[in-house]
Amino acid sequence: MTGELPGEAVRALSRARSLVALTGAGVSEESGIPTFRGGDGFWKGVRPEDLASPEGFARDPAMVWAWYASRVSAIRAARPNPAHDTLARLERRMRVTVVTQNVDGLHRDAGSATVLELHGSIRRVRCHRQGCRDGDGRFPDLPDGDDPPRCRCGERLRPDVVWFGEMLPEGILDAAGEALRGADIVLVAGTSSVVYPAAALPLAALEAGIPVLEVNPEETPLTPLATWSVRGLAGRVLPALREAADAEPGAS
Ligand code: OAD
């Protein structure tokens, strides 16, 4: 960890009864899952819309399926890291809502009870036909090179994630907004804060007078606006924050 922990942020966390944590790919980086925009990120040297849009899927379903299948096997082998564990542990002392852009399911694996997955889950598949639920299920293991599977209705199955140009899961932004309104503090960890609508959530919190603490090894567009911003890895800074908050006199 490079940055000092801001004392005021530690005190705010120690007094908080309710926390919203907005997380992004950086939180899973220490579990061995690449981010999107980093030097070795998923989007390096590719056109994201070829792999993550309905149009890309229509053009080359086998390539899109193969890319998600390789991510699924990497994710199945991954374990939560101390950043995920810390958010789960914080539930012992306050209400915690995790609002995540990650599709890897590691927050649930760590034991977080309330996780709003803004961009869906890569562990599930669904039918590509709007409104059909016949294909809902676990992402299947298929031999390499096999055609992407079909739903019972005949349409293709696809990962249950949000692609560019698609709506977020119904009701999820309302649920995130409601959690935000009741939050004493908002923690934003491991996101480049460039993808909307997720990036708007901390801005709404700041507008409502709720303090926002950012944790990221790099500056982001949120950095100058956040109440506090700590440069460092989530897997180190989050446990340190929790320990420091626990050590505050009169911590709740
Ligand atoms: P990005 O790849 O855009 O950003 C990852 C952020 O994590 C960067 O700001 C890094 O500096 C930071 N980071 C890297 N390692 C870290 C660590 N160990 N601890 C803390 N921070 C670290 O990922 P997201 O912001 O999550 O959407 O991207 C948002 C969305 O863009 C994704 O959900 C995905 C992508 O297109 C869809 O696929 C719909």
Higher-scoring residue by pLDDT: 60, 4:
60
**Rounded percentage of the chain residues whose pLDDT exceeds 90:** 89
CA–centroid distance, residue 216 to ligand 1 (Å): 10
* Pocket residues: Cβ below 6 A from ligand 1: 24-26, 29-30, 35-38, 41, 48, 52, 101, 119, 162, 189-192, 195, 215-218, 220, 233-235
- Asked if pLDDT for residue 184 goes beyond 90, the answer is yes
Residue to substitute in 101, 117, 241 for testing ligand 1 pocket (most ligand atoms within 8 angstroms of CB): 101
Per-residue confidence (pLDDT) for residue 3, from 0 to 100? 56
**Strand residue runs (E) in the chain:** 18-23, 95-100, 115-117, 120-127, 137-138, 157-161, 185-189, 212-215, 228-230
pLDDT band at 144 (very low <50, low <70, confident <90, very high): low
**Rounded percentage of the chain residues whose pLDDT exceeds 70:** 97
Which of 36-50, 58-72, 213-227 tops mean pLDDT?
A: 213-227
Higher-scoring residue by pLDDT: 224, 252:
224
Higher-scoring residue by pLDDT: 155, 147:
155
Going by C-beta distance under 8 Å and a sequence separation of 6 or more, which residues neighbour residue 218? 231
Partners of residue 202 on adjacent β-strands = none
Tell me what the mean pLDDT of segment 146-166 comes to.
Answer: 93
pLDDT band at 2 (very low <50, low <70, confident <90, very high): very low
Mean pLDDT of the chain: 94
CA–centroid distance, residue 6 to ligand 1 (Å): 23
Residue type, position 63, single letter = M
pLDDT band at 20 (very low <50, low <70, confident <90, very high): very high
Tell me what the mean pLDDT of segment 245-250 comes to.
Answer: 90
pLDDT band at 229 (very low <50, low <70, confident <90, very high): very high
pTM, to two decimals: 0.96
Q: Say if CB 1 and CB 189 are below 8 A apart.
A: no
Residue 57 CA, chain-centre distance (Å), reads 23
Q: Which of 202, 199, 124, 209 is nearest to 158 (CA)?
A: 124
Per-residue confidence (pLDDT) for residue 40, from 0 to 100? 85
Note the pLDDT tens digit of each residue in 67-115. 999 999 999 999 999 999 999 999 999 999 999 999 999 999 999 999 9
Q: Which is the closest atom of ligand 1 to the Cα of 30?
A: 18
